[in-house]
Amino acid sequence: MNHYRARKIAKIVAIVIAIAMVVTSFSFIMMVPGMFGMGSYVVYAATEDENLDSQLLTLKQYMEYVLKNYKDDVTYQQMINGAFTGIINSLGDPYSVYYSSSEEGDEFIESVTGEYSGIGVSIDSYNDECRIVSPISGTPAEKSGIKSGDIITHIDGIDISSKSLNEVVMMMRGEEGTKVTLTIRRDSQVLKITLIREKIKNISVNYGMLENDIGYIQITSFDNDSHLEFVIARAALEKQGAESLIIDLRNNPGGLVNTALEIANLLMPEGPITHFEQKGQIVESYYADGSSAADMPIVLLVNGGSASAAEILAGALQDSKTATLVGTTTFGKGVAQQISDMKDGGTIKLSMYYFLTPNKNRIDQKGITPDYMVSESINIDAKELEANYANFAPMNEKTKPKSGEAGLNVFGAQQRLSMLGYTVNKSGIMDEATVAAVRKFQYESRLYPYGILDYTTMQKLDKSVVEFITGVGNNVDLQLEKAIEILK
């Protein structure tokens, strides 16, 4: 294909994902100024709650009582802000936020779209803790070895357990060249990592040629022109003779949803890209027009740091059979937010939709499971893996366990499958999850996928674990290697 042009997708909404390297969690934002202002007001139907007026009157009396009797000076506005915040907090949704002033809301929006100085991480709230979703490629966070799943407990020695995500983000941002120290909990370890803040400039698309005429495109986030960069990258690779393509979405925390839709439209056949669901009903769907469907094999790399808009693209390409997914299960952030201005100057970021894959699968808190589960090698301690492997149960019993059977062969297989990233219960029993994992391993290893632990499967499984540990020691990218293997 020698000519590319940007295509507009019908009904694309301007939804932005908030990359927490700049602010809170990576949440979708749709700008709708004036939902509660500009002459527009919220109307409560009396039939929904006839006691609402009475309850609001009680709330007013409560505020008057506090104003009169509290030990320190307090204002009505302070309490009103607290009430609005309390309403949002009552939802138990980490992605919904009330900003008491337009300045705070503007600061949030600027941090989504503008240049800033910081360390380059996306974060979210998990079990009331601040969790790293992913370090951003090329930033101080990535260079320092911060990992997806790390829990931030302190910033510059300050306990952040009572801080909001927005407050945490603002603590990590600061003037270029200044230091910030994060205290991080990683499993049973407590680490202190000092970073130097840098200007975070998001170069979202990188590309190059690999062996066997395979083109490689990395998308680190979805900004407002990533789809145009993608067009240029693909054209350049095709000109260099690319006959297949690897698209790398690992540690991509998201970005502009319409950009992800544009890229999906550049690859997919005609059909749905994603659906938006509210209160159990699909309220909007977005479609590829099929005019520029990819005419080459594609492998998509994903991991636990692939989130939101990245998951929209991953789900679309998987369900439409456009690409084969390789890696580990994605983050599982499938909730879209809308930002609205209130009449009094406040701003609300409210979760309004779930997004679904083309096959209408909800991925929130579940993620997308790749077609090939392959663990990452980067930042894994090879010596620790070797020590674990040395303690694995041998698989030398003269049995070929099938569903419902038990034994050391089963337990040893479960230990090895777990190390390779498969989800199993290490019980020594061939339960449903273990049979499914064995079947998947057999399929990925080009063995007959019937879910029985035969001798060939056990030998291949043990060999795969040894290769995995060896690859880790040599810092080999096992996921990329798998993608290349598939496309050869």
Which residue out of 25, 27, 308, 340 is catalytically annotated? 308
Helix pair angle (382-390, 455-473), 10° resolution: 150
H-helix segments, 432-476: 432-444, 455-473
Cβ atoms < 10 Å from Cβ of 69: 7
Give yes or no: 308 in active site: yes
Rounded CA-CA distance 15/95 in Å is 14
Written as one letter, the residue type at 78 is: Q
Its sign, for the CA torsion 20, 25, 30, 32, is negative
Give yes or no: 319 in active site: yes
Give yes or no: 426 in active site: no
Helix pair angle (382-390, 408-419), 10° resolution: 170
H or E stretch at 353: strand 347-356
DSSP 321-337: TS-EEEES------EEE
Which residue out of 144, 319, 320, 340 is catalytically annotated? 319
Which residue out of 333, 349, 440, 482 is catalytically annotated? 333
Rounded CA-CA distance 48/426 in Å is 51
116 bridge partner residues? 200
Evaluate whether 142 touches 124 at the Cβ level (below 8 Å).
no
Cβ atoms < 10 Å from Cβ of 73: 7
Backbone angles phi, psi at 131, to 5 degrees: -110, 140
210 bridge partner residues? 214
Short-list 319, 346, 314, CA closest to 331: 314
Dig out the tokens for 39 from the structure: 């002459």
Dig out the tokens for 237 from the structure: 């690779």
**Tokens 């499967």 map to which residue?**
457
Evaluate whether 275 touches 360 at the Cβ level (below 8 Å).
yes
Residues annotated catalytic, as ranges: 308, 319, 333
